[in-house]
Amino acid sequence: MTFGTWLFTRFNGRRVGTDAAGNVYYEEKRLRAGARTRRWVVYNGEVEASRVPPEWHAWLHYTTEAPLPETQRRPWQKPHVPNATGTPLSYRPPGHDYQGGHRARATGDYEPWVPG
């Protein structure tokens, strides 16, 4: 958290709750005429938007008035997993340069186009 965010949160924020990852959610103490109450998150650790679970995402984006309790989760719902794009944990298909750049030959009647 930057100093400016910390200062704004200290004087203008009202803590609403936390999630399982330790992120803390705030909303503005005072109502502004003709505007929605500001809502924001202070991340626990790396600042990565995909670390916000769905129940808090809905609240941050004004889909719900109150954060959804985690007790509403259904047994078939998987736990939240942050986006791994751009990290070593991201999906790399066969033939990707990081996987050696080789893939199995195509089968069937496929013929690659060759300029000429």
Let me know: does 95 contact 101? Beta carbons within 8 Å: yes
28 token code pair: 């503005």
Average pLDDT of the chain, as a whole number = 84
In terms of Cβ atoms closer than 10 Å to its own Cβ (0-12, 13-18, 19+), residue 82 is middle
Contact yes or no for 13/29 (Cβ under 8 A): yes
**Span 11-29, pLDDT tens digits:** 999 999 998 889 999 999 9
The pLDDT of 28-45, averaged and rounded, is 90
**Which two structure tokens, joined as six digits, stand for 69?**
């309790």
Supply angle C-alpha 56, 61, 67, rounded to 5.
35
Q: What is the mean pLDDT of residues 47-58?
A: 86
Quote the CA–CA distance of 27 and 53 in Å, as a whole number. 17
Average pLDDT score over residue span 24-52: 90
